[in-house]
A and B are shown apart, each in its own frame.
Chain A
Amino acid sequence: MTPLTSNQQYDCVVVGSGASGSIIASKLAEAGQSVLILEAGPSRDLKDLISSQLWARQLKWSGSAVEEEGNHKIGHGFNAGFGAGGSALHHYGVWPRLHSNDFDILSKHGKNLDWPISYETLRPYYDEVQADVGISGDAKAEIWRPKGEPYPMPPLPVFAQGQVISKGFSAMGLTTAPIPLAINSVPYKGNPSCVYDGWCDAGCPIGALKNPLVTHLKQAILAGAEIRYDAQVTRVLTDKNRQDVASGVEYIDREGHTQRVKAGRVVLAAFTVQTVRILLNSVRANGVALGNQFDNLGRYLTTHAGRTVFGLFSEQTDPHLGPTGGQLICHDHYDDKTAIKDSFGSYQWLIANAVKPNGLLGYANSRPDIFGPKLQPFMAQAAKHLGNMLYVGEDRSVRENRVMLSDKTDKFGIPVARTVHNAGPEQEAQMAFAMAEGEAIFRAGGATEVWTGPRAPIHIMGGAVMGSKEQTSVTDDLGLVHGTDNLYVVGPSLFPTSGAVNPTFTVSALAYRTAEHLIKTG
């Protein structure tokens, strides 16, 4: 069927309505540009955020299948969202900054990649984002924190679980601080403060946790950006005469019709795997996909290794209280990436996460070895006395870990994404060290029984990495795709290396920087 082409020309078309796309859309619309957001998933409202571990699963990726291979698969089904607000709609709001030693790993250590910018370049954007969005925390208590403005809100309270586990950290000579959270500890910019019920994984309908529906997506719509839901972008179109100029995008609408829209600029914000998939499907007349002239597209795919330490304490911990992302943080192992034998990279502890009984992260599933009549007594004890904390380990950036196109296609005949991701021996060594440390911390804090969950992939980054050289990257430091004039990428796919912190604060700071450039040059 012939694609339907609308004659309307937008200044910018943004693909994806999540964390990064809604920042670009709001900033450009506020600057007076005409903006169209195309979102593959459905429209969602705050009232759709039902407090249930089961219903929360409806917020997850439900688009085309993603094939996964490797010894540490990326977990797209858990890590990607779908519809208004993207994964950020039900993310946990843990917002630490990268450290300055995350930006020059190749230069300093001869491995992985360098970022084309330093922490100092990003610092003012971190400060601007945190003032706009609102972060609760205690900058002084974070003795490892890179320079920046203090947080605009005081930290959230530390409940029994955090207090009990922090004793273990102190006994081991380790430092904890309140987690910097994009969650209100006090009312902020019209949104109320958190009520500590631990429902963040299902989305926070009161807006205490800053999801795009209460921040940039709301602002984008208010500023006049248009949004079309159930609109799956399949490829970027280029100008007939100039293949380095993006002229718009092709998408499939909710009726299954192929549509085309024209735009002066195209910004891909479809999260890591789908952004790469769109680019790989955007093949120029010379047979090479946009951004792939040096075979870098899809490469350097990364995911953090996440692994939870669980323990039962004699003291009451009330693990249902607080935010899902946790109460305390430890970055004592961040600044020396070579400190642990046979390992490389940083790691952080996110401590005292609020947990539910069921679900992938719930305590029932942390002990699959307990079932039948033994289960109920375990559950009753865990409901009151469980402690848990999450290890988040830095990944390696290697060319072999990548997103490709599969031979299989989705229901519209578009090749689906295939990913390969393997952890290396240095990541294994770091995780083994951290698990031993975690167990010792829990024992020192008085745990009577300690166990660990399996390694899980958390966050997905890389694939369209930024860099200063075309030969080793896909975009420049602003996300402009090499070899094109007006095609940009935003989101964690830009990260040359993963660091060991949750990515969305950095995603937001980078998107602020790109938006500033797009407005200046608009």
Chain B
Amino acid sequence: MNDLSRRNFIASTGIGLAGLAAGGALLSPRQAQAVSLPLKALTKDQALTLGALGEALVPGALEAGIIQYIDKQLGEPNTLLMLKYLGVDTSAMPGFYRSALGSAHRLSQRLFKKSPEALTANEALAWAENIAAGTDKEWQGPPAGFFFFVVRADACDVVFGSSAGSEALNIPYMAHIAPTTSW
């Protein structure tokens, strides 16, 4: 996200607070309920926030398992998370996600007086846009724009990084050795 011009970024998304339409919540009650499955690294609120952000950025991320992926990988000594490439040491990764998810949750409350999982699709896009722009003065933790980039990349990993994701794009996966599990 470092090189991305914030202004161009906002312009190119073509969404703004004014254009919001009402709609159903981003996570269905069943999906929200499913998040109470045992979590190792994240609290339920953090997991719901992650699910809502991942889904807003990359539709399908929730069903593809973004919450389970991040929660599991935060406990692995040799993690599969892309954050590994981005200069964040493994020991600092749980704190990275937890602090930023807390900020993202508070931002949603301030913008819409709702928890992220209760945002409508359009509200969630505006929330994500705000995180990307990095303008929230009360944001704590890693820079918001960087966090946006990381969660978007994680969501792309779970949605497009499997043989099913590849086939959905109409490209053959062609594994030499297929992974036995996605992550």
Residues in A lying within 8 Å of B, measured CB to CB: 47, 49-55, 57-58, 60, 62, 65, 68, 73, 75, 77-78, 195, 197-199, 204-206, 320, 356-360, 362, 364-365, 368-376, 379-380, 383-384, 453-455
Report Cα–Cα, A106/B6, bound state, in Å.
Answer: 41
Interface pair B176/A54, CB less than 8 Å apart: no
Which of A77, A371, A375 sits near B85, CB closer than 8 Å? A77
| CA gap between A376 and B78 in the complex, in Å | 31
Evaluate contact between A371 and B89: CB separation under 8 angstroms. no
Asked if B8 contacts A369 (CB within 8 A), the reply is: yes
Q: Name the B residues within 8 Å of A374 (CB-CB).
A: 13-14
Give the shortest distance, in Å, between B131 (CB) and chain A (any CB): 11
Please state if B82 and A359 are interface contacts (CB–CB under 8 Å): yes
Q: Looking at chain A's contact residues, is the secondary structure mostly helix, strand, loop, or mixed?
A: loop
A53 to B159, CA, bound (A): 12
Query: Whose C-beta in chain A lies nearest to the C-beta of B1?
Result: A368
Q: Is B111 an interface residue (CB 8 A)?
A: no
Could you tell me if B87 and A357 are in contact, using CB atoms closer than 8 angstroms? no
**Beta-carbon contact of A380 and B82 below 8 Å:** no
Of the A-B pairs whose beta carbons lie under 8 Å apart in the complex, a sample of 6, sorted by A's number, is A57-B84, A62-B77, A77-B84, A365-B156, A369-B4, A453-B3
With A68-B87, A372-B57 given, can you name 6 additional A-B contacts, CB distance below 8 Å?
A: A52-B161, A52-B162, A357-B160, A358-B157, A358-B161, A360-B153
| Chain B positions 71 through 107: 1 when the CB is less than 8 Å from some CB of chain A, otherwise 0 | 0000001111110111101110000000000000000
Enumerate chain A residues within 8 angstroms of B42, measured Cβ to Cβ: none
Contact A60 B85 (CB under 8 A): yes
Residue B149 lies at the interface, judged by CB distance under 8 Å to chain A = yes
Least CB distance, B18 to chain A, in whole angstroms? 17
| B91-146 interface (Cβ within 8 A of A) | 91, 121, 125, 128, 132
Instruction: Kindly list chain B residues whose C-beta atoms are within 8 Å of the C-beta of A78.
Output: 85
A370 to B171, CA, bound (A): 21
Residue B177 CB within 8 A of the other chain = yes
Alpha-carbon distance between A383 and B8 when the two chains are bound, in angstroms: 24
Q: In chain B, what residue has the closest Cβ to A196?
A: B174
Kindly provide the distance from the CB of A69 to the nearest chain B CB, expressed in whole angstroms: 10
Distance in Å: Cβ of B21 to nearest Cβ of chain A:
13
| A365 and B9 alpha carbons, distance in the complex (Å) | 14
Chain B residues in 8 Å Cβ range of A357: 156, 160-161, 165-166, 169, 171
Chain B residues with CB under 8 A of A360: 82, 85, 153
Residues from chain B with a CB closer than 8 A to the CB of A362 are 156, 160
- Are A369 and B176 interface neighbours, CB within 8 A? no
A54 touching B157, Cβ below 8 Å: yes
Given A51-B176, A204-B176, A360-B85, CB of A375 within 8 Å of CB of B157: no
